[in-house]
Structure 1
Amino acid sequence: MQNYANHTRYYPLHHYVVTPLTLILLSWSFWNLAEVFAAGGDWLRELYLVLVAAILFLLPVISRIYALKNQNRIIRLEMRLRYFQLTGKPFTHQEKKLTMGQIIALRFASGRELIPLMDRAIGEKLSPRQIKKAIQDWQGDTLRV
């Protein structure tokens, strides 16, 4: 069962394999460039390898950022629907007072505690972490990227 303590999600292939390996490759290619440059060798080839390594490092990072931004848009839409279902009013007025991080944190609140917690988050300017810790009836999101 998901809760505040275990809701953070890591993907082993991304976090523990691809990212570290590409970071090692990037570091190694920078080191090689410095070595060849200091020795007066053909540094253009090594610069090319640095650029390739940088691209290989950035590809999974950028794709993850795109996925998270898309997911955040979906969460915003979900919150608009939930707010309307609970209050019969559009979320627009409240949405302008909340950061995206606060909206994401409120997503974990149950229907009965969402509106009071949202009002409290706006009034007390709660951080996403404070919002998550204040949730009593945690609604897990096992599909989060």
Structure 2
Amino acid sequence: MKRQNFQNHSKIVIGFHGFTFLAIMALVIGSIMALAKSSNDTFYTSSLLVLNSFILLLLAFYLRSFSLKAQDRAIRAEEKLRYFILTGKAMSNFLSTRQIIGLRFASDEEFVDLAHKAEKEGLSEKEIKQAIQNWKADTYRV
């Protein structure tokens, strides 16, 4: 496996990000076209198909956002514990969840200093990731 760094740390799952999205969009477009061409006899069935396609679209969006939110909460807890283990003090409440998520890639040697810098300078998640010298891979996030 290629060593993880800022340039290659994001992950695209072709089955979800590609196929599922395209299939749902084809269903949405096709069902809307069928509804537009429907007659009085097929209007009800066509409208149910449109409703189902939008339900699938919303379901896919919320399934992804809910799982990411749960992962973000776990990462925040893990990084706050790591900070406490390294310093013996609680992490500042002024760091945002996005900043803490960016810090998860920092090695233990640079983690504490980078956390202080992020808080002091208001670094974004991307800026934090770019500032990391010794990248600690996170291969479990989807």
Please report the TM-score for the alignment, with normalisation by the length of structure 2: 0.91
Match of 1:52 in 2: 52
How much has 1:54 moved relative to structure 2? 1.2
| 1:74-122 alpha-carbon deviations (Å, 9 max, x no partner) | 101101110110110122xx1x212211110011111111111111111
Residue of 69, 94, 98 corresponding to 1:97: 94
Residue 85 in 1 paired to residue 85 in 2?
yes
Whole-Å Cα distance in 2 between the matches of residues 42 and 12 of structure 1? 35
Match of 1:137 in 2: 134
Whole-Å Cα distance in 2 between the matches of residues 142 and 50 of structure 1? 38
Match of 1:68 in 2: 68
The percent identity for this pair of structures is 41
Whole-Å Cα distance in 1 between the matches of residues 49 and 40 of structure 2? 17
Match of 2:35 in 1: 33
Match of 2:111 in 1: 114
Whole-Å Cα distance in 1 between the matches of residues 32 and 96 of structure 2? 38
CA RMSD in angstroms, aligned pairs only: 1.5
How much has 1:40 moved relative to structure 2? 6.1
For structure 2, list consecutive stretches of 5 or more residues without a partner in the other structure: none
Whole-Å Cα distance in 2 between the matches of residues 32 and 57 of structure 1? 17
For structure 1, list consecutive stretches of 5 or more residues without a partner in the other structure: none
Whole-Å Cα distance in 1 between the matches of residues 64 and 117 of structure 2? 32
Matched residue SS, 2:135: coil
Residue of 108, 125, 129 corresponding to 1:128: 125
Whole-Å Cα distance in 2 between the matches of residues 123 and 43 of structure 1? 60
Residue of 18, 21, 24 corresponding to 1:19: 21
How much has 1:61 moved relative to structure 2? 2.3
How much has 1:59 moved relative to structure 2? 2.4
How much has 1:23 moved relative to structure 2? 1.1
Higher relative contact order (CA 8 A, sep 6+): 1
Please report the TM-score for the alignment, with normalisation by the length of structure 1: 0.89
How much has 1:60 moved relative to structure 2? 2.6
4+ long deviations beyond 6 Å:
none
